[in-house]
Structure formats: structure tokens, C-alpha cells
Amino acid sequence: DTEVTQTPKHLVMGMTNKKSLKCEQHMGHRAMYWYKQKAKKPPELMFVYSYEKLSINESVPSRFSPECPNSSLLNLHLHALQPEDSALYLCASSQDRGPGGTEAFFGQGTRLTVV
């Protein structure tokens, strides 16, 4: 199983809503990532979890709150978002973050629209 599964695929939310994005992998990977991708732009790193601990927060606004309940799951909690937060949110996982780098597998993404 080389799949990273994200739910939901599409999400429309109002600026006062609270919602969560979910990501799951069963490859035994110990590093998990959230990326944000705007149209015609590369993925932009938001958060990295390594062995279920937050290791990188790329100065993301607090209206985005990540959570890693266990080694297979990664959530992104959303609250009081702005229309400019509309984007494709990609989850990825890799074996670990040790020296040398390893292949990162991406989920299909959640297309988020904030209205």
C-alpha cells in the first residue's frame, strides 16, 4: 500500500466555521507533512511531524492547527479562515527525515474554498 489518503476531497467553508482535514497512511512512514498549493504555484510547506512530534512550523497563522494523533494519522484543524486561504491542501509522508532524504508520497489533496 503506497497510498496517502486525504479526506474530504473538496471542502467549502464559511469564515466562521471550524473544520478539519484528515490524512492517513499505512506505509509505516514516520514523517508527515502539510503543504498548501495555490493555483499555478509549487507546494508550500506548512508543517512537518517527525515521529509524531511537530518539528517544523513555517510561521503558519494560528487559524491552522495541526495534530498528529498517531503515526498513521495527520489532521489539520481550520478555524476562522480567510478567503485567501482557499487552496489545495496536500498531505505527504516519507519514511523519515534522516540524512539523505527519502521519497515523499503525496495524497490527492483537499481543495478548500473559503467563502
Partner 1 sequence: GENVEQHPSTLSVQEGDSAVIKCTYSDSASNYFPWYKQELGKRPQLIIDIRSNVGEKKDQRIAVTLNKTAKHFSLHITETQPEDSAVYFCAAIPDTGRRALTFGSGTRLQVQP
Phi/psi at 28 (5° precision): 75, 15
DSSP state letter for 76: E
Which is closer to partner 1, CB of 56 or CB of 60?
56
Q: Contact positions toward partner 1, by CB under 8 A?
A: 33, 40-45, 48, 56, 90, 92, 97, 99-109
Least CB distance to partner 1 at residue 93 (A): 12
Cell of residue 9, nine digits: 476531497
Between 55 and 82, name the residue whose CB sits nearer to partner 1.
55
Q: How far is the CB of 14 from partner 1 (least distance, A)?
A: 24
* Residue with smaller CB distance to partner 1, 91 or 114: 91
**DSSP state letter for 51:** T
Find cell 502539510 and name the residue. 34
